[in-house]
Amino acid sequence: MLLGTVYVDISDEEWAVAIAYGRAHHPGIRGPEPVYEVRYTYRPEGEGAIKRLDTRKGTPSTVTVGPLPSVDEFVVMTLDYEKKQIGGTGL
In the chain, domain spans: 2-85
The pLDDT tens digits for 18-66 are 999 887 665 566 666 678 999 999 999 888 899 999 998 888 999 999 8
Question: Which of residues 87 and 8 earns the better pLDDT score?
Answer: 8
Integer Cα distance of 8 and 2 in angstroms: 19
Residues in contact with 31: Cβ distance below 8 Å, sequence separation at least 6, in sequence order: 22, 23
pTM of the predicted structure, to 2 decimals? 0.82
19 closest CA partner among 86, 68, 91, 88: 86
